Structure 1
Amino acid sequence: MANKPLSVFVTTYNNGRTLPACLESVKWADEIIVLDSFSTDDTLVVARRYGALISQQMFIGYGPQKQSALTATTHDWVLLLDADEALSPDLQKELRQVLADGPVADGYEMPRQEQMFWRMYHPGTRMNYYLRLFDKRKGLIDDMPIHAAPKIQGSVTRLSSPLYHYGETNIHTKVEKINAYSSGLVADKVRKHRWGIRLIMIVYPPLFFIRSYLFKRNFLNGWAGLINSVIAAFYVFLKYAKLYEHYQFAKYGKGLLPDDAPPLPGEYQPGTGEET
């Protein structure tokens, strides 16, 4: 059946800077759902400007939060967007054509073109594809602690036009994100009983750099591509370094510190990424 109505769902927290571009790119949708985690900036003002249906709840994790927003949608066909993403004009046309003609698959992946610090990805860079448009009757959002994404039971195909991402507009933001993400993934990796951590720390980061810089063609992005690939390799290292640290804390506690060492404020709590 053609002319499928579309619900767009977005989770937000203090995204007033990027949300206008996000919602402007989907203002033609039949419904926009915004689930906010009690923003203190103008996020809600922006959402109301675009006629979004707004609700608020405390942040309960990336996957559960997105699933809550998905549950609030009323149409079968839904589009997941992050608040720092926007559909390119060509992708808007492509999506609207799919919905007008009637989808031939249960889900659609789209390439994401990243802003990499001071520039956008070179078009020749190999972009990652993300499942964002799907029939919600066929799936839900997974429970990954960080990179939560839709999982569907059905056929998936790809669109050709890019989704723009404005999540890493400078090096400081990029490094902050990988620090937070790597801490957030420790508990998940502990649960999965990862082994060979020391070998992974030695071998995987340089291989990941080669994959990013050469095989994904980040060299086309000049110095921004080199910097990005180095940070990406460090992110891989950091995930497993923090996992190793978790096991060392669990094994030794304070046993490797001098007996007469006084307790220090701000002691790191293994596996939480937080300080007391």
Structure 2
Amino acid sequence: MAREPLSVVITTFNNADTIGACLASVAFADDIVVLDSGSADATRDIAEQAGARVYVQAFAGYSAQKQMAINLAVNRWVLLLDSDETLPPDAAALVRGALDAPSAAGYEMLRREWVFWRWQPGRARLNHYVRLFDRERARMSGHEVHESVVVDGPVRRLDAIIDHHGERDIEGRVDKANRYSSLQVRDRHTREPRALRLRMVAYPTIAFVRFYVLRGHWRGGWAGFIAARVHAFYAFLKYAKLYERRVSRRHGEGRAVEAERHQD
């Protein structure tokens, strides 16, 4: 039986420093789609030179943008990558092997993170995401942030690691925490939890312990410690901004009632 043809799908925006390595790592694919959000750098030129089919679409949100890119794929099987990710040769071989005779509707893959100045330690727990899937049985979740692939059918784990060359300095990671916490508060899927003030006080410590101790990032030295602190700050920001929204709504309702009284 012939191997299922593969489309690789990537969304970009001003990623000239990473898109070349990303595309080179998936050069074996039968089809490569790059959906750009209007880059001002050389991202699109690099992608076109690498043989990708390049399209431009104004940014519609992380989930919606990725879904539009998936819809542009010509093949049924899709590998979804971020523009700052690369697929090592051993992972590429596993992807090709899975497509020889797919036994699931989607496959989870592990992701190894670059943390400031080093890779996360080998024995730290890796996150896993569905990245290889049959697009006729899958869709993006619709979340504004932390979007994921939702698969209608069985999902299996592919023992392949994606390398994520993410934020290379503390400033970038803190900026991302601030941006993502705001998006999560605005996400229509985010429900306001109970005991917001208690969560705002307690959860950052819980998040730190989970990330640093339970997930093994203490093995990463000071890079792991700093990353855990930023992760805790992200948890604080998320609940603080939810609380701010609640208080603002109450004040807004109070002002509206007061205005009605003056009108009477």
TM-score (norm 1): 0.89
Contact residue 209 and residue 233 of structure 1 kept, 8 A: yes
**Structure 1 CA distance, aligned partners of 2:138 and 2:156?**
15
Q: Which residue of 1 aligns with 2:40?
A: 40
SS in 2 for 1:162: strand
SS in 2 for 1:161: strand
**Structure 2 CA distance, aligned partners of 1:80 and 1:176?**
24
**Structure 1 CA distance, aligned partners of 2:190 and 2:103?**
38
Displacement of 1:196 in angstroms is 1.7
Provide, for residues 27-54 of structure 1, a one-character-per-residue CA deviation record: whole Å limited to 9, x for no partner.
1100001111111000011110111111
**Structure 2 CA distance, aligned partners of 1:201 and 1:125?**
27
Q: How does 1:15-26 map to 2 (within 5 A)?
A: 15-26=15-26
**Structure 2 CA distance, aligned partners of 1:83 and 1:120?**
18
Please identify runs of 4+ aligned residues in structure 1 that moved more than 4 A.
none
Displacement of 1:190 in angstroms is 8.2
Q: Which residue of 2 aligns with 1:92?
A: 92
**Structure 2 CA distance, aligned partners of 1:94 and 1:214?**
31
Name the aligned partner's letter for residue 239 of structure 1.
Answer: K
Contact residue 122 and residue 221 of structure 1 kept, 8 A: yes
Displacement of 1:192 in angstroms is 2.1
CA 132–105 in structure 1, closer or farther in 2 if over 3 Å, else same: same
Displacement of 1:194 in angstroms is 2.6
Displacement of 1:203 in angstroms is 2.0
SS in 1 for 2:75: coil
Q: Which residue of 2 aligns with 1:242?
A: 241
SS in 2 for 1:200: helix
Displacement of 1:191 in angstroms is 5.5
**Structure 2 CA distance, aligned partners of 1:232 and 1:59?**
26
**Structure 1 CA distance, aligned partners of 2:184 and 2:221?**
30
Q: Which residue of 1 aligns with 2:259?
A: none
Contact residue 145 and residue 187 of structure 2 kept, 8 A: no
Displacement of 1:147 in angstroms is 1.6
Any gaps of 5 or more consecutive residues in structure 1?
257-276
Q: Give the CA RMSD over aligned residues.
A: 1.7
Provide, for residues 71-121 of structure 1, a one-character-per-residue CA deviation record: whole Å limited to 9, x for no partner.
11111100000001111121111111212x211111111110000000011
Q: Which residue of 2 aligns with 1:134?
A: 133
Contact residue 88 and residue 163 of structure 1 kept, 8 A: yes
Displacement of 1:201 in angstroms is 1.1
Provide, for residues 48-79 of structure 1, a one-character-per-residue CA deviation record: whole Å limited to 9, x for no partner.
01111111111011111101001111111000
Aligned residues, how many?
Answer: 255
- Does 2:7 align with 1:7? yes
- Does 2:199 align with 1:221? no
**Structure 1 CA distance, aligned partners of 2:57 and 2:237?**
31
Contact residue 13 and residue 36 of structure 2 kept, 8 A: yes
Name the aligned partner's letter for residue 247 of structure 2.
Answer: Q
Q: Which residue of 1 aligns with 2:163?
A: 164
**Structure 2 CA distance, aligned partners of 1:190 and 1:71?**
23
Displacement of 1:252 in angstroms is 2.2
**Structure 2 CA distance, aligned partners of 1:62 and 1:190?**
14
Displacement of 1:139 in angstroms is 1.1
Contact residue 190 and residue 243 of structure 1 kept, 8 A: no
- Shifted more, 123-132 versus 195-204: the winner is 195-204
- Shifted more, 171-180 versus 191-200: the winner is 191-200
Displacement of 1:185 in angstroms is 1.1
TM-score (norm 2): 0.92
Contact residue 84 and residue 166 of structure 2 kept, 8 A: yes
**Structure 1 CA distance, aligned partners of 2:192 and 2:240?**
15
Name the aligned partner's letter for residue 47 of structure 1.
Answer: A
Name the aligned partner's letter for residue 167 of structure 1.
Answer: G
**Structure 2 CA distance, aligned partners of 1:174 and 1:191?**
22
Provide, for residues 177-227 of structure 1, a one-character-per-residue CA deviation record: whole Å limited to 9, x for no partner.
001001111122686233221121122211111111111000110010111
